Amino acid sequence: MAATIRDVARVAGVGLGTVSRVINNSPLVSQATRQRVLDVIAELRYNPSQIARSFSLGKTLTVATIAPFFTRPSVVERLRGIEAALASGGYALVVFNVETRARRDNCLRDVPRSQRADGLLIISLAPQPDEVLALQETRLPVVLIDAYADSLPGVTIDDVAGGALATEYLIALGHRRIGFIGDLIADEMSFNFTSSRHRLEGYQQALVAAGIPPRDEYQRHGLHGRYEARVLARDLLELPEPPTALFAASDTQAMGVLEAARDLNLAVPDQLSVIGFDDIDVAEYLGLTTIRQLLFESGERGVELLLKRIANPATKLEREYLPIELIARGTTRRIAR
Amino acid sequence: MAATIRDVARVAGVGLGTVSRVINNSPLVSQATRQRVLDVIAELRYNPSQIARSFSLGKTLTVATIAPFFTRPSVVERLRGIEAALASGGYALVVFNVETRARRDNCLRDVPRSQRADGLLIISLAPQPDEVLALQETRLPVVLIDAYADSLPGVTIDDVAGGALATEYLIALGHRRIGFIGDLIADEMSFNFTSSRHRLEGYQQALVAAGIPPRDEYQRHGLHGRYEARVLARDLLELPEPPTALFAASDTQAMGVLEAARDLNLAVPDQLSVIGFDDIDVAEYLGLTTIRQLLFESGERGVELLLKRIANPATKLEREYLPIELIARGTTRRIAR
DNA sequence: CTGTTAGCGCTTTCAT
DNA sequence: ATGAAAGCGCTAACAG
């Protein structure tokens, strides 16, 4: 069917090796020979088989990514950074999307083993200790993005500091009754997202530091999603003594909070201040105050670390922290007294 | 290093073929032998190499996707459908993101040739005739999603009908001065998106059918994006005799229109009706009236067509049209008189 | 500079 | 039911 390197060699009247050298731009071919081979390649419409190439080389020039809900704006933006960095390095990107616990476990177990890729990027998923061990056994270079695990390299932000930053800002605006809306605390059945948990920690620390005792009833957790956050927030805002400000662990959840405020006819920011996290695209549109993190860059940096590790697996464990920044917009204001 | 099939065979004291049969669940192995081999596999932590397997089989169990701006909500949703359908079929997904004209051309040319994948899905990009020819020459099964090309299978919606549907709705609400905001008309330098152009056609047809002459100054085109649409809309709305309703070729652009209205202190829908296209996630949040198309499903159906073609390349050219639906929300209303 | 050859790890006949 | 052997298309080491 399709021409092989052997066909090219035969027609051009040269050896296999020569054709291979031409394909790979080796300098050890005379100009004349090279041209002849090139002509035959064009004539035969020959395309080197990537699979055969990978096989022979022992590398796939492919990087695999496991991401939960890759449809979430923050994840998409990280993926975009990954793709861009990978493409400029000549690597292809294969994506595994994970929306159930079972698939998370399967992917984490099987993808590294399949040897389809030269490296693996895991987004927003923290492998458990036993999974880390299994991962290391495969010897496949791995980098975590927006997640942390002992003895695995990664790029993240300081989520605790982020949570504190958001909360301190609300405190500085005079708020004392500050609520928190975040993801479900990881349990057996869930994904082990850690960022929401850390942001909660930062929230609590900031409160304590300001002499405000954190109240349990001000902290609500649910599945990540606009609708879930809306329900949670509505509940929270109907408390006898409701919060005057709400910190949502993500912009998506903050949108749910905004909806809840609308449901209850609470004016934002006059009666309720709202702050989110991530600074996804739509945050600007909504005028949402939020904590910005560099999503695109996290993908880029993750790829850099990974490629370094692929080139030299002995590279010492690197962990990179990306900066965060408070973006004050219109959903927060000094508390009315 | 890692154990190979040969190691397993040796340790288990069986032939290569037997191990292969066990791996592939062939029934031609005795229960006893199978168990012995399985034990050795576990003991050696053997994982069959996917690359070697692909190579030997002559198939990669991978599908490639070329998508422009895969960060756009509508594209992401299609990809999600693709990934889901692929995963359940045992295929992996490799993604190429295209954000420049040059990369579009390169991908269209190189990806099919590289033989990295058993099939190719092209999203929202219409190959030119010469590109179609080159594509067909590679004999790689291809399916278009949200794009059309002669002699290539695909799944799309009827964009002309969609444009007409949106426009007729505005007309039915009493609007006569209806503007259109869409993508740049394809030129040498751009991507050849066709959907916006077709929606414009539908818009014009509906207008004519209602006896309203389309006015050139009511039709604006720019790069796809919220900001660009905002600028375009602002300009349009500052006309001496501005439109009372605006049809945006996508929800993202409709958001820009909404911003423009805000800029000019025009109340929506009281002073201006706005309708979008796609019904992306955020449309519901914004209460945006729009034309819904089945994005996720378009990915699923594209995969189905593609897998069918991979299984049997002689499958006759299939083209599938997905339904559209008007979703009336809060950004449109009967014109005040 | 160039041709030849030995694998890479697996699937698949083909015998047995 | 199972072992042996022939590739799949390419790269790289080796010999000229």
Residue B335 covered by a domain = no
In terms of domains, do B163 and B289 share one?
Answer: yes
Picking from B57, B73, B90, the residue at the C-terminal end of a domain is: B57
In terms of domains, do A25 and A171 share one?
Answer: no
In terms of domains, do B290 and B205 share one?
Answer: yes
For position B181, what pLDDT does the model report?
97
Is residue A129 within 8 A of residue A121, CB to CB? The reply is no
Residue A77: list chain B partners with CB under 8 A: 71
Residue B308 covered by a domain = yes
**Which nucleotides in chain D lie closer than 7 A to a protein CB?**
1-14
Residue A331 covered by a domain = no
Give the chain B residue whose CA is nearest to the CA of A63.
Answer: B94
B-interface mutation test, from A57, A116, A295, most B Cβ less than 10 A away = A116
- Is pLDDT above 90 for A192? no
For position B204, what pLDDT does the model report?
98
Residue B117 covered by a domain = yes
The CA distance from A226 to A234, in Å, is: 12
Measuring from the CA of residue A29 to each C1' atom, give the nucleotide at the shortest distance. C1
Q: Chain-wide mean pLDDT for chain A? A: 93
Answer positive or negative: Cα dihedral of A203, A205, A209, A211: positive
In terms of domains, do A287 and A301 share one?
Answer: no
Tokens, residue A173: 């605006």
Q: Is the CB of B25 under 7 A from strand D?
A: no
In terms of domains, do B49 and B66 share one?
Answer: no
- Is pLDDT above 60 for A42? yes
Q: Give me the residues of B, 238-267, that contact A with CB < 8 A.
A: 255, 259
Residue B173 covered by a domain = yes
The CA distance from B34 to B26, in Å, is: 10
**Structural domain that includes position B91:** 62-157+295-322
In terms of domains, do B143 and B248 share one?
Answer: no
Q: Give me the residues of A, 63-82, that contact B with CB < 8 A.
A: 70-71, 76-77, 79-80
- Is pLDDT above 60 for A189? no
Percent of chain A with pLDDT over 70: 98
Tokens, residue B189: 């330098």
**Contact state of A70 with B83 under an 8 Å Cβ cutoff:** yes
A72 CB-near residues (< 8 Å, 6+ apart): A224, A252
Task: Summarize pLDDT for B251-268 with one digit per residue, the tens.
Answer: 999 999 999 999 999 999
- CB neighbours (10 Å) of residue A19? 27
In terms of domains, do B180 and B141 share one?
Answer: no
- Which residue carries 């599908």 as its tokens? B63
- Is pLDDT above 60 for A294? yes
Number of folded domains in chain A?
3
For position B294, what pLDDT does the model report?
98
In terms of domains, do A113 and A173 share one?
Answer: no
The CA distance from B268 to B255, in Å, is: 12
| Domain at B204, CATH number | 3.40.50.2300
Give the chain A residue whose CA is nearest to the CA of B93.
Answer: A94
Query: pTM for the full model?
Result: 0.92
Q: Are strands B245-248 and B273-278 parallel, antiparallel or unpaired?
A: parallel
What single-letter amino acid sits at B82?
A: I
The CA distance from B127 to B110, in Å, is: 13
| C1’ D6 / CA B56, Å | 12
In terms of domains, do B67 and B147 share one?
Answer: yes
| C1’ D13 / CA A147, Å | 44
What single-letter amino acid sits at B79?
A: L
Phi, psi of B148 (to 5 degrees): -135, 140
**Which nucleotides in chain C lie closer than 7 A to a protein CB?**
1-14
Task: Summarize pLDDT for A137-165 with one digit per residue, the tens.
Answer: 888 999 999 999 999 999 999 999 999 99
Measuring from the CA of residue A51 to each C1' atom, give the nucleotide at the shortest distance. D9
Residue B100 covered by a domain = yes
Residue B336 covered by a domain = no
For position B190, what pLDDT does the model report?
64
- Is pLDDT above 70 for A188? no
* Stronger pLDDT, A131 or B190, i.e. the higher one: A131
Residues 9-48 of B with CB under 7 A from strand C: 16-17, 20-21, 23-24, 47-48
The CA distance from B335 to A329, in Å, is: 34
A226 → closest Cβ in B47, B103, B285: B285
A218 CB-near residues (< 8 Å, 6+ apart): A177, A178, A179, A180, A236, A243
How far are the Cα atoms of A299, B2, B259, B274 from residue B336, in angstroms, in the given order?
Answer: 50, 75, 21, 14
Measuring from the CA of residue A55 to each C1' atom, give the nucleotide at the shortest distance. C8
Q: Is the CB of A50 under 7 A from strand D?
A: no
Give yes or no for a cis peptide into B141 (omega within 30° of 0).
Answer: no
- Which residue carries 């309708």 as its tokens? B275
For position B192, what pLDDT does the model report?
66
A55 → closest Cβ in B55, B96, B226: B55
In terms of domains, do A163 and A153 share one?
Answer: no
Tokens, residue B54: 């692909």
In terms of domains, do B42 and B108 share one?
Answer: no
Give yes or no for a cis peptide into B269 (omega within 30° of 0).
Answer: yes
Spans of chain B below 50 pLDDT: 188
| Domain at B38, CATH number | 1.10.260.40
In terms of domains, do B31 and B71 share one?
Answer: no
Picking from A57, A73, A90, the residue at the C-terminal end of a domain is: A57
Residue A337 covered by a domain = no
